[in-house]
Structure formats: structure tokens, C-alpha cells
Structure 1
Amino acid sequence: MPTTLSPAQSRDINYQLHSYTNAVTHQKIGPRIIERGEGIYIFDDQGNKYLEAMAGLWSVAVGFGEPRLVEAATRQMQKLPYYHTFTHKSHSPSIELAEKLVEYTQGRMSTAFFTNSGSEANDTVVKLVWYYNNAQQRPNKKKIISRKRGYHGVTVASASMTGLPGNHRDFDLPLPQMKHTSCPHFYREGLPGESEEDFATRMAADLEALILQEGPETVAAFIGEPVMGAGGVIMPPRSYWSKIQAVCRKYDLLIIADEVITGFGRLGTLFGSDAFDIEPDIMVLSKQITSSYQPLAAVLLSPPVASIIASHSGTLGTFGHGYTTSGHPVAAAVAIENLNIIEERNLIENAASTGLIMQKALRELADHPLVGEVRGMGLIAGVELVADKQSRQPFEPLGKVGAAVYEQAHNNGLIIRAIQDTIAFCPPLIITPAQVGDMVERFHKTLDDVQRTHVA
């Protein structure tokens, strides 16, 4: 980063507080200011070009600068730039999008509720779960179990379900109703001599033990990402979800699939639930729903859950929840066009086929001195860096080498994400095999650079 701040950088540090940023450091170094995007690339205000290997924040499916999304937003802005969905009002874009999303689930879900972000959606889910149980005269069945290293957002409720200490420290979180069970990361959490199958069985046993400890009559739901994203791209063992679901059904817990990252093709399937045979009662969608060109998220409810919630609103006289911009017509119109592009251009199939190429290319780095584990599926992957490959000993302090790789990657024209010492990849679904090769080559060079300057 430059030592002298530009006028734009100076304005930024004077007026903005940035997410997931050390504000004191930011005052010294300022931001990289991104000016435009084109396909899988972004450009800063100095003219530097970067391959955006994180699709922004796990989200720009169709790439940057897609004219059809600009046109869809413009058409809707000209026709109906805003209206709400309160008090028996609706509009065509939200109706069409809700119908499209429900049809995607092939009958598993029946009803959509729209919010502006995944965090808001998961916050809404908490309220819906509580409302659902109150409707059934179960006022004590309110606790929600998520997982250590799981990520579900940053509102008070959703951050409480998130299992990352950085989202809890000095925010007085988590709320007492939110509990956390074991993280299904076999590389880090597996016991010596334990098979992945036995590990998955132990994870399910941990969940059951927590439910029994809390009291099954007090536990309402289990929430999980099919593949954990912000916690380090954690791939569960193959049988993990079937075992977890069996425990949930045994104790009458709703199953919530947080598909904010995995929805709409990221794993090479329409939903992450399809990849792992998850049968959720509630699904949460965002990010790739609009390629993040507009803020939008959706909560999808199964027919039994939706029916009970709707009936209870009749008893109470209203469903007392909603946001000013729920189902915003411009966001919904962009989502519809974005999903049409994903379908027409076979981007889910591309995530599957090009994803195999990406996974293979990254795994070829397994012999690199810094690499401990490469994991992932489709077009999402994590490369965990270690100090010692045999013992799997992490670097100390944790995150220092990951931060060095993150910074050096910029010098090689590559945007990645460092989750402590796991380097995450989540490129746009439009990426080609040749671009994957370029991406991995830049990353390999970055690893060599850091090995030479920070580790050797």
C-alpha cells in the first residue's frame, strides 16, 4: 500500500468505518479504492487490474459489469422504483421471484419472505422459529444450535448464531438462546486413528449430547451451512449431514440450511442442500441471488412451517414483522434476470466442470512447503497454511502468514481472502478453465514469494 494517502483515501478514512477492518491501521494505510469491474476482474483507481478470486464477498456469480443486470435495474427503476409489501400490497417482481424460488425447490419449500441481506434473513429466521413454537404452545422451545466456526451474519441474533469469536468479542454476544456444537473439520478436529465416518458419528453424538444437556423441550432448531464458508471453507464428511439430520428429527428440531454462499450453483449444484441430501425446513438465500448487484435475501419456508406461521398471524390479527424494502422491486427484478443468466449460460454446470479443474489445480499445490490441506467443492476452496506439514502445526501467531499471503497476492494481481491461515477461493461462476490456470499460477507465485520473504 502507498505511504502517502491520495485525496480519495483521505476522504475515506475521515468519513467511513469499515467492516472487518482494524480502524487504527486503516487510518494509517487507507483503502484500496476500486473503480470498476469487468468479468472476473476489478480495477483500482491507480489502474491496477486484479483477478477477483473471491467474487467480491462470495457473491458475484455472473461477473462484474453484466449489462443485462444494469438494464433490468434501469427498466424497473423507470416503471416502479420502489414499493413495499406491507398490508396486502405487492408488485410483479416480488411475486415472480418468490414463485421462481419456490419452483427451484421442487416442492420442498412453499413460501418466500424477502430481506435485504443474509444477516437480516437469519435474524428473521430466529423470530420465525420462535413465532412457530409459540403458535404450537411450546414457549420454552426457543434455543437454536449452530456450530463453532459457522457464519450466519452480524445482527444481534445472527451474530449470536455465528460461531466466530471475533463476531462476539465486546458486542456482549452471543445471546443465551444460541448454543454451539462441534465444527466438522476432520483435518483439525479428527482424533488419531479416527476414520471420517467415525468422526461424522462423533459430531452427531456431540449434537445429541448438547440437546440432552439443554433439554430437548428447549431446543428449537439446528442451523448450518452445507459447506462452511467464512469459518474457513470447511467440507463436512460425506455422511455428516445424514447423521445430523437424524438427530434433529429425533428431537423435533427444525433444520435450517444457510445457503447464503452455497445457493445458485457454487458447489456445482443448484443448492448446497442438493449436494449433501439435506432436507431443510427453512432455507436462507442471498449473495448470488442478485450477484450482489442489489441487496436482497430470501427466507424459504416448508409447507408445514409456512402454514403454522400464517395461521398464527390470523389468530393474532397480523404478522408483525417486515422491512421497508422487503422484496424491493428493483432488487427482485435484478434477481430474476441474474437467475435467468445463470440458467441460460449453464453456470451451475460450469461450476461443476470448471470446479473440478480448480480443485485439481489447487490440490497440485499440496506439496508446497506452506500448504497443509486443500479442500473444497465446485468453485469454492480453502488452502490451509501450516508451519509443519507432518504434525499439522499452525503458524504462530495464527493468521500472520495468511495476512502476508493476502497482501502479497495484491502485488501479483490477485484478490483472495485470508481466514486466519486458510486462503479462500470463490471466483465468479463465469470463470473459464484458462482463467483458473492463471489464478492458481498467481497464487503459486504468491506462496513462493511469502515462503522466501516471511518464512524461510
Structure 2
Amino acid sequence: MTPPDDAPRFNSAAARDIEYALHPYTNHKAFRESGPLIIQRGEGIRVFDDAGRDYIESVAGLWCASLGFANQRLADAAYRQMQKLPFYHAFGARSHDPLIDLSEMLIGRAPLSSGGKPFSKVFFANSGSEANDSAIKMIWFFNNAIGRPAKKKIIGRVRGYHGITVASGSVTGQPANHAMFDLPIAGFHHVSTPHHYGYAQPGESEEAFATRLAQELEDLILREGPDTVAAFFAEPVMGAGGVIIPPATYYEKVQAVLRKHDVLFVADEVICGFGRTGSYWGCQTFNIQPDILTCAKQLSSAFLPISAVMISDRLYQGIAEGSDKAGTWAHGFTYSGHPVPAAVAIETLKIYDEIDMPKLVAERGAYLQRAMRERFADHPLVGEVRGVGMIGAIQLSPDKASRATFDPARKLGTRWQALGQEHGVMMRVLVNESAAISPPLIISEAEIDTMLERMMVALEALRAEI
């Protein structure tokens, strides 16, 4: 039956959402016509909308719901802490048990920092953006404290993603995060994306490509002046930039350049940390020894907002001296180390230990990588299938041989994502029509099969349309 012309287009909740909510990463003019998808509950790797339809979450929400969308232990941990101490801050040398315990647990599980030494201290924030913004301020404070006031420039990578504050959005290398925001601000620079499939020259090996990118980085440092370049930011595996796996020898060569010019390495483990790449940290997967490590998302399995910045002892000693000169280290958030998210993060790390998360992901990830390639590599619309551990991408191409990309104006990735939703899988299709795959780490092999089947049905529907 066709609804009457004067029938409301949206239910009450959707209408109120359109009326009052300003959604992140949304075309708001189009949104007022399409309306929201309202998710009401979650269970395992699935979420359910207000009509009762289920969707497999192929990207764990936003790369973060590692233990799925329902876990009683994490809910209980939050409730117990709320009953005991629902809030306290860490300003002025105050502390509490969850902050202390989580700091110790993170340092104990951290990879090696620069020079093969343990990390020294942990600072807490509320998001990956805040963690990376804090890292930038730490770097600037450190260099002022040790008498290098000119050494402040920050280098990121094209398509890299490090957040959306003014500073973290500047080191981010995504056009959408710069357009109309007047970013990047002065002092931020970007080098090429380390994607061999997309940017290697004809016949160029991965090692030769890595050598060329390392030289590009050194050329930039020399052009700007080593005494002005402070730090280099990199995700071990680029996430929002399209799930970019670095070419062989890339980080080995990049780190040599950074050490040569005393440029700090900040490893953004916001997506890669806590097992996603098959090791506890992406740094361990790719043999990175950073000066600073940032993490978030899977730290609490996304149950509550929390992020962390781990710093080397060299950084800490400089910050300590600077804080004495200035009278304080005047940085921090009301909710830095908030006891409730910290308690949930502690319980999350305990669960990771109990299920041996890196081993589980290494085994389950091998199945995911194999299944992705078997199902999609030969599809006529697919150019590349790539990944490591429990993160991957399927990139569309109109021509496998030339590695061409589709005209962005056709918005085929957006259409594939919409078709996926119609067929019961939440997808996130990124730059160059690359569908990211980063499901909850607890996903079973049978659930991997179902997820990929739904994605394939959506891809076949897209193929029929074009």
C-alpha cells in the first residue's frame, strides 16, 4: 500500500535526530533527506536497528569494538568502579588505583621504545585525537625544555590519519580533514603514502619503493633543516587511509633516517594496538622502536572513551626538567585517567591475557586473509586484496592490469557500502574504493564466512548496476 502524501517520512526518533543532532563525518544536506539509521542494541559481532534487522560489523564500529558489542565483565567493571569512585582527576599529583594499575599494565605490555629500551611513563586522554594532540605538545615542550626551540616541525604522511583536533588534524594527511578547516597549520608537512600497489613505479620492487620513500623523507628533513624538524608520525598499518600495508624494509629505512637526524618517531597504534595486526602491537609486527606510542579504541574495547600516550625515558626526563623550569607541566584533561574507563580498560587487558589475544588473532587472522583472497582476488571489479592479521582491505579497480582506480565522482564505494547495509553488513569504504575489513577480534571462522558472503552479495549487486 502506498502511504498517503501527508504521511510522515520518518518515525519519531529519526525525526528528532534530524531536528537536533549534528553528526560527525556526515553530509548534512543529504542527511536531512535520507535520515539516520538508528542502532538500538548489540550482541557479539552484530548490531541491530530499531526495526530489528541485524548487521555484521565488518569494521568493529570504528576499528574499536574488539570484544564485540556485549560483554558483561566490562559492564560489571564499570558499575563496580562507579559505586566505589565514580570520578577523580589526576591534576596536581593526585591519583587513584585504576590509573596506577592501568599505567603499570600498559608499560608491562608495551613494545620496546627507541634504543631498545622500555617505555617510561603513561599519560591518559579520552580519544586517539587527544592522544596524538598531546604527543605533539609533549614534543614541543620537550624541545623547549632541552634548549631546541626551533625543532618543532612535524611530518605526517599523505592519507595518514591521526585525529581531528587542530594539531592532530594537521598531521593527518586526508583532504577532507583539511578542506574548509584551514588545515594544516604552519609547521606540518607530509610525505608519500607507502602503498606499493598504488604508487610504485613500473617494475619497482617493494624494497626499491621503500628506499625511494625513505629518501623522500630525508630530502624533506634536509630541505627544512634537521634542527627544525621534531617528529615523524606513522600508523604501523594505515587505517582510514585505506588499510595500507607498508612495503618490505620501509620502517627499517625510515627509522634509520630519523635516527640520523634526531627526529622523534611517534607510532600511532590507535587502530593497530592490542592484537589487530597479529602481534600485541603493530610496532612488534613491523619492528618499530618509537619514542612515543599512542593508543586508544581497543584499549577499552570501545566500552568507554580512553586513550594513552606512552613516552620514552628520554622524553620524560626532558618534560620533568621543563616542568620544573615552568613551575608545572600545564597539560591535561578533566578526564585524564578517569577511574571508570580505566577500570574497564584494566578488565579489557585481563580478558586479552586470558584468551591470548595475539595468538587468537594470528590464527583467526590467517583464516581471514586467506578467505578474503579466495573470494575476492579474482573478481572482475577487484584490483587488490591486502591485509595483515585481522585488518585488511578490498580495493576496487576497473582494470586489474593497469591498477587504475574508478572515477571518484561515480561514488562506487559509497554505493557498495549502501548495498552492504541492505544485505546485512556494516561496511566502511575508504579512499580509492577500498573496503576496510577490521571486525571484532572475537569473530569466529564461520562468522568471517558469513561476513564475506554478505559483502560479496553486495559487490555482485554493484556489478549488476554498473
Shift in Å at residue 398 of structure 1? Answer: 5.0
Letter in 2 for 1:424: A
Give, in whole Å, the separation in 1 of the partners of 2:460 and 2:243: 23
- Which residue of the partner structure matches residue 215 of structure 1? 225
Aligned: 1:373 with 2:384: yes
Give, in whole Å, the separation in 1 of the partners of 2:415 and 2:191: 31
Give, in whole Å, the separation in 2 of the partners of 1:430 and 1:396: 36
- Which residue of the partner structure matches residue 29 of structure 2? 24
Give, in whole Å, the separation in 1 of the partners of 2:460 and 2:277: 29
Give, in whole Å, the separation in 2 of the partners of 1:382 and 1:108: 33
| CA displacement 1:86-134 (0-9 Å, x = unmatched) | 0121000000000100111265211000000000111111110000100
TM score, norm. by length of structure 1: 0.98
Does the 8 A contact of 1:114 with 1:298 survive in 2?
Answer: yes
Give, in whole Å, the separation in 2 of the partners of 1:167 and 1:233: 18
- Which residue of the partner structure matches residue 342 of structure 2? 332
- Which residue of the partner structure matches residue 63 of structure 1? 68
Shift in Å at residue 219 of structure 1? Answer: 0.1
- Which residue of the partner structure matches residue 439 of structure 1? 451
| CA displacement 1:224-275 (0-9 Å, x = unmatched) | 0000000000000121000000000000000100000000000010000000
Shift in Å at residue 6 of structure 1? Answer: 1.3
| CA displacement 1:374-415 (0-9 Å, x = unmatched) | 111011101110111111221123561111110000111101
- Which residue of the partner structure matches residue 463 of structure 2? 451
Instruction: Provide the secondary structure at the position in 1 that maps to 2:122.
Output: strand
Give, in whole Å, the separation in 2 of the partners of 1:40 and 1:88: 40
Instruction: Provide the secondary structure at the position in 1 that maps to 2:92.
Output: coil
Alignment of 1:174-253 (within 5 A): 174-253=184-263
Candidates 11, 16, 28, aligned match of 2:16: 11
Shift in Å at residue 346 of structure 1? Answer: 2.2
Alignment of 1:300-339 (within 5 A): 300-339=310-349
Give, in whole Å, the separation in 1 of the partners of 2:410 and 2:163: 22
- Seq. identity, %: 51
Per mean C-alpha deviation after superposition, the further-off stretch among 343-352 and 153-162 is 343-352
Instruction: Provide the secondary structure at the position in 1 that maps to 2:335.
Output: coil
Aligned: 1:363 with 2:373: yes
Letter in 2 for 1:80: L
Structure 1 residues 12, 257: CA separation in 2 closer, same or farther (over 3 Å shift)?
same
Structure 1 residues 399, 349: CA separation in 2 closer, same or farther (over 3 Å shift)?
farther
Alignment of 1:394-433 (within 5 A): 394-398=405-409, 400-420=411-431, 421-433=433-445
Aligned: 1:139 with 2:132: no
Give, in whole Å, the separation in 2 of the partners of 1:113 and 1:408: 42
Instruction: Provide the secondary structure at the position in 2 that maps to 1:217.
Output: coil
Instruction: Provide the secondary structure at the position in 1 that maps to 2:227.
Output: helix
Give, in whole Å, the separation in 2 of the partners of 1:410 and 1:416: 7
Give, in whole Å, the separation in 2 of the partners of 1:185 and 1:399: 23
Letter in 2 for 1:133: N
Give, in whole Å, the separation in 2 of the partners of 1:81 and 1:265: 29
Letter in 2 for 1:368: H
Give, in whole Å, the separation in 2 of the partners of 1:265 and 1:20: 27
Instruction: Provide the secondary structure at the position in 2 that maps to 1:163.
Output: coil
Shift in Å at residue 4 of structure 1? Answer: 2.2
Q: How many pairs align?
A: 453
Letter in 2 for 1:53: S
Letter in 2 for 1:257: A
Does the 8 A contact of 1:399 with 1:419 survive in 2?
Answer: no
Give, in whole Å, the separation in 2 of the partners of 1:177 and 1:399: 35
Give, in whole Å, the separation in 2 of the partners of 1:253 and 1:26: 44
- Which residue of the partner structure matches residue 97 of structure 1? 102
Candidates 270, 291, 299, aligned match of 1:289: 299
| CA displacement 1:44-77 (0-9 Å, x = unmatched) | 0010001111101000111111000000000000
Give, in whole Å, the separation in 2 of the partners of 1:67 and 1:215: 53
Give, in whole Å, the separation in 2 of the partners of 1:393 and 1:278: 32
Give, in whole Å, the separation in 2 of the partners of 1:5 and 1:388: 41
Letter in 2 for 1:79: K
Instruction: Provide the secondary structure at the position in 2 that maps to 1:87.
Output: helix
Per mean C-alpha deviation after superposition, the further-off stretch among 270-279 and 341-350 is 341-350
| CA displacement 1:31-56 (0-9 Å, x = unmatched) | 10000000101000010001111101
Query: Unaligned stretches of 5+ in structure 2?
Result: 112-116
- Which residue of the partner structure matches residue 92 of structure 2? 87
Per mean C-alpha deviation after superposition, the further-off stretch among 58-67 and 384-393 is 384-393
Give, in whole Å, the separation in 1 of the partners of 2:60 and 2:130: 21
- Which residue of the partner structure matches residue 52 of structure 1? 57
Give, in whole Å, the separation in 2 of the partners of 1:219 and 1:37: 45
- Which residue of the partner structure matches residue 170 of structure 2? 160
| CA displacement 1:409-442 (0-9 Å, x = unmatched) | 0111101101031100100010111111111111
Structure 1 residues 399, 37: CA separation in 2 closer, same or farther (over 3 Å shift)?
farther
Give, in whole Å, the separation in 1 of the partners of 2:278 and 2:343: 24
Letter in 2 for 1:445: V
